[in-house]
Structure formats: structure tokens, C-alpha cells
Structure 1
Amino acid sequence: MSHQILLDVDTGRDDALALMFAVRHPDIHVQAITCVAGNTSVEDAAANTLSILDLVDAPEIPVALGARHPLIESPRDASWIHGTHGLGNVELPVSGRRVEPFHAVELMRRCLLDSECQVTLVALAPMTNVALLLRLYPDVVDRIKQIIFMGGSATVGNATPVAEFNFWHDPEAAHIVLNSGVPLTMYGWDVLWSMRVGALGIAQLCESDDLVLQVAGRLLAFEAVDPSNGTPVIYDCIGDAGTLCALVAPELFGIENRPVQLVLTPGPARGQTIVDRRSMAGEDSAHHLAEPVPMIDVVSSVRNDEVLTLFIECLANRSW
């Protein structure tokens, strides 16, 4: 099955892995890539994206710069875990490719309107660009087949104890997307963090003769420093790339259709996704206090070993 996709990224280390997978998978056709501030600045995200496209010998794919800051909040990057420019300590040659001379939201609009079929929007970053698209050009909604996104969590967060980074970075944008009426699939932090490669797997990648696998290994091996206590942290999961794995191989994932809402109020819960897993009505419904909540396909489990095999074989161009 061929997937026509539009990628929205904030290319840090895990977005880079996702870009490698998307370009190298035979069932994915990347029509365009848009960049947004998140893991790093939008300028660094775009530069990283172009360099990764060179690395995997990608065809010409239009890339555009998008929002430089969230709808309301000030930008708060994740450079401590992704490195100063987003790719840890990996230095790639500056690309000769160039970004489009217009805004990412305009590229999204053109891509959707020009496509001969509906397009899947794969959102791997804060939802600012996507929310702006839905607000500025509501006429394109029918051209979106689905939005599958890395964001939120049904359990623990990473930006805060309860909020995942992408949703915490721009909760208002995420709220707009969740309530857009577009079919949605959520690949959350709780599932993402289970997809660990481990020290042995990283070593095997780094020792590979394939440059793409070597770079993947180095991206996974980057040692960050926990800003709260100064201890080393290795973020060794394939991260956003798992979202694309769920797109092409949904049989390897457990998916539940659940009501999902987002906390927008100030305080420690801001940016939290509340996934309702109850099997019966609660007191909120019994007392007519429950408000309508969007129903979303939520990735709830994963066959880790099989997904990691899919990811590595795709990057190595094996099995096709």
C-alpha cells in the first residue's frame, strides 16, 4: 500500500531518523516537508532536514520554513537532549538544497490541493504549522486523509510529569488539531519511550559499513546531561520514526479508539493529554457534566522487536 505523505518536523535527532525511514521505505512517497520550531530553531530544523535528505540520497522534495514560535507561548527548545543544533554531535555537510521561498503553511496548502489523491499528514513536532493550516485554509481539510502524529501520552510525560514535549510546547495548536474533525492517530510518548535500541544495537549501527546506519547509531548514542542533576542521559529510542512504522505496519501495534482531551489551563497539568480508558460511564456523565470529546485512534502497545527490525532493515534497504 502506497502512502502519500506530507511531513511536518522540528528536525532533531529522532526526526532525522524518521526522515531516513520515510525516504527509504518503498511504500512511502514524501510529497513535501515543512519545518517548525520545537526541538531546535526552525532554521536549524530546516538545515538538518536538508542535510539528512542528502545523506539518504533523496530525490528533490520541497522543504519550507514554518512557525518560529508557538501560537501563544514563548519558544522553548529541547537542545539539552538534541544538542545545540539538533543532531547531537553529528556534523553533516551543509546541503546545496534550498528551502522554498514561501511559508510552510503555503507549501502544505499547495501540496494538498495539487495532489491527485488525499494525503496523510505526518506531524512529528509541535502542531503550530498544522493548526495554522487548518485555521487559514479550512477548504483543504477534505484533502487530508488522516493526521498521524507524535504527541501526547496516555500515561507519563517527558516535558513535565504529565505533558509530552510537542503538546507542552504549543498546547493551543494541539487543541485545534485534536478538535479539527480530521481522522487522527496518536503515537504518544508512553509508546515512543518503549522503543529502545540499547547499547548493543547502537554499537552495531555505529560499526556498520553503511553510512546511513552509522549516522543513525551516532544520533542514538548522543550523551546528554540531565539539567536537573547533571547526570548523563542517552535517549536511545527511535522516537518519531515509530510514528511512520505505525503508518506502514499498523499490524505491529495495538490501537484503541478513545476519547482524548487536552489541558490548556495554566499550572502543572498544562499540555497533558487525558485519554479516557474507562469501560463504563462515570460520575461526570451521570451528572450531565461531561462535554463532547473527540474520538482518536491511540497507539497503546507495540511489538518492539519486530518494529525495531522493520526500522533497521528499512534504513539498510534490506527486504525490498
Structure 2
Amino acid sequence: MTGRPIPVIIDCDTGVDDALALLFAVRHPALDLRAVTCAAGNTDVDGVVRNTLTVLEQAGAPPVPVARGAERPLVEPARAPRHVHGEDGMGDLGLPAPARTPADVDAVTLLRREILASPRPVTLIPTAPPTNIALLLRTHPEVVRNIERIVFMGGAVATGNATPVAEFNVWHDPEAAAIMLTAGVPITMYGLDVFQRVVVPGTDVRRLRASGDPAVRLAGELLAHRPSAPESDGDDPAGGLGDAGAVCAVADPAGISTRLLPVEVNLAPGPGRGQTIVDRRARPGGSGIHAGEREQALVDVALDVDVQRFAKLYLTTVEGIPGPV
């Protein structure tokens, strides 16, 4: 490894693939996981806290502080996708209750404390609806000076999953997403266009599930649960990395291809609510000329991903196989 580890904070709604992201972040030597904050999303916020502590415990992580955050989006009620992540948010795997306990501060307080205390600018990795991030940026705008970048899992250039045009994290709290995108922090959008492509082959998933290492075995069980995997390998289901790909993109940014593009979140009621409108035109039309009148941001949008590179990176990291980082 060259250079010092990147200080990162993950804001999550753990969540099967958020759990995969945490396992990777704990084990990658180029990442210094300084804190984890929790928001309602894949399950209720108390379930998110419990799941997060369980994953960190299973991973043998150091005593990373974990804080409870937003119970619901800024405007609308919480809407957990239990059909995807199960009743407990973790695929109903029956994992043991954690012995670890959360921090005695709320998520926004922990975010502010850890960002300002870091000797180097922090990279924020939201893999949840960005409610906590929006509250932080509105309440404590001074943190912007010590944020290197936000790499968030959310949005889509093409097709959504919560609706035909909206991805779940942004759809769940579009107002929060709009605040995050326009806060003046460099942002990378790891959206559904790349999210859905990174798949671990079924033979590898089976190997992980047979491991004697609890963290590796958990990664295998989580990957086997992923219902969004677009293909299978014989009797062994392939597993989509999902949110974990955003953390891979922080550890290995060369694995994605991005383009700096104007992005706007649709906040209007109706079927387009929560859509990330990404302007890929070579030159703006009439609406683009007046874009300064709207809440529009320039974002590094991930348009392509090296699937095999990220799958290999994930496997070698979680399994503890030495290699370049």
C-alpha cells in the first residue's frame, strides 16, 4: 500500500448490501473507517443500528463509533423495502444480537465531531437515503471545509428501481438528496447504472459461504441473498455487490469511469419524484441557460465500471488475500 489510509465515514441503512460495504471497509488497508452513522431506509433506524453493530462485530472491527440518526425522511414517512432485504433488513439470516452498543450521541453530532477532528479531509460514503447528510450540511455547514468528497450510492442516469425513473435512496428522501448535491462538496454519484452490474460469480459465493472466518462466511450469505443478481452460475446464485461497489470506488477510483455532468433531483409530486435528471447533452438548451435559477449541481457521474476488477477487489479484500491496494 502506498500513502496513508483514506479517512472515511459510512452513512448507511444496513441492509444486505450496506453490510457487504461495511465488511469491505473494515478489511481494506487503504481505508480508515472512522465512524458509521445510521438512517431509516432498508429497515427502521433501530434495526439499522442493530444490523450495523452486528456486522462490525462479525467482522472483528475495531471499536468504530456507530450512531443512530434519522427515523424518517425530511418530508415523507419511511418506506422500508422488506420485499428486498427481509423483515430485519439483513435477509432474515438469524444473526445474533450484537454485544456492541451505539455511541451516546446522535448521528449528526458524531458526523460533525469526526469530520472536524480528522487530521485529513474525510470522504463521506452515504449508502442510505441521505437524510443524515442533509441535516449535517444544513446544521453544521462548517464541516464542508474538511470533507474531501462525497461518494454516494444513489440515483440513476437511465432506469430506476423504486419507480421507473427513481432509485430507492434518492426516492426515499429526494429533498435530502437535493441538499447534499448542492452543498458545494465534490461529489461522485455511484448510481444504478453501475450498481447493478457488479456481480460476484456463484462459485465464489459458495466458497465464501463455506469459510471458517465469520466475516467471510457472512459476506457469502449476504451475497447469496441478493435478489438483484442478474445471472446465476449453475446451482450457485451469483451475488450483486450493490452498495459495496461505492466503497470499492473510494478504494480504487480507477475502477469506474465518470463524467462531470449537471444533475438535478425532481422534487415535484407525481411519477417523476426522486428522479436524478442527468444532463448528458453536449450543449445546454434553453433550460440549461437558466439552470442557475434551479437547484442543479455538477456531479461526477459513474457511467461505466470494470466489473471483474471490482469483484476481484472485493473478494481479495474480504478474504484477506494479499495483493496491490
Query: TM above 0.5, one fold?
Result: yes
Q: How much does 1:307 deviate?
A: 0.7
Q: How many Å apart are 1:283 and its aligned residue?
A: 4.2
**Separation in structure 2 between the aligned mates of residue 223 and residue 191 of structure 1, nearest angstrom:** 16
Report if the CA contact (8 A) 1:222-1:235 is conserved: no
Q: What do residues 16-64 of structure 1 show as CA deviations (whole Å, max 9, x unaligned)? A: 0000000000011111110000001111111111111111111111111
Q: SS at 2:199's partner residue?
A: coil
Preserved contact between residue 80 and residue 224 of structure 1 (Cα < 8 Å):
no
* Cα deviation 1:102-129 (Å, max 9, x = unaligned): 2110001111121112111111100100
Q: Does 1:118 align with 2:121?
A: yes
Partner of 2:239: 236
Which among 242, 254, 259 is matched to residue 256 of structure 1? 259
Q: What letter is aligned with 2:272? A: A
Q: Match of 1:70?
A: 73
| Correspondent of 2:37 among 34, 38, 50 | 34
Partners of 2:244 and 2:299 in 1: CA distance: 20
- Unmatched tracts of structure 1, length 5 or more: 226-233
The residue number in structure 2 matching 1:267 is: 270
Q: Say which of 4, 9, 27 aligns to 1:6.
A: 9
Whether the 8 Å contact between 2:157 and 2:191 is mirrored in structure 1 is yes
Other-structure match for 1:205: 208
Identical aligned pairs, as a percentage? 45
Would you say 1:80 and 2:76 are equivalent positions? no
Q: Is the 8 A contact 1:148 1:243 kept in 2?
A: yes
Are residues 1:136 and 2:142 paired?
Answer: no
Q: In the superposition, relative to structure 1, how do residues 223 and 297 fare at CA in structure 2: closer, same or farther (>3 Å)?
A: closer
Q: Residue 81 of structure 1 contacts residue 235 of structure 1 at CA under 8 Å; is this kept in 2? A: no
Q: Name structure 2 gaps, 5 residues minimum.
A: 229-236
TM-score when normalising by structure 1: 0.93
Is the Cα contact below 8 Å between 1:259 and 1:295 reproduced in 2? yes
Shift of 1:6: 1.2
SS at match of 1:8: strand
What CA deviation, in whole Å up to 9, does each residue of 1:167-196 have, x standing for no partner?
000000000001111111110012100112
Relative to the length of structure 2, the TM-score reads 0.91
> Which amino acid in 2 is paired with 1:147?
I
Match for 1:158 among 156, 161, 165? 161
The Cα shift of 1:290 comes to 3.9
Matched-pair contact (CA < 8 Å) for 1:5–1:31: yes
Instruction: In structure 2, give the amino acid aligned to 1:90.
Output: L
Equivalent residue, structure 2, for 1:312: 315
Q: CA deviation at 1:212?
A: 2.1
CA root-mean-square deviation:
1.7
Output the CA distance in 2 between the equivalents of 1:235 and 1:207.
Answer: 15
Q: Find the residue that maps to 1:271 and give its secondary structure.
A: coil
Equivalent residue pairs, number = 310
Query: CA–CA distance in 1 between the matches of 2:213 and 2:262?
Result: 43
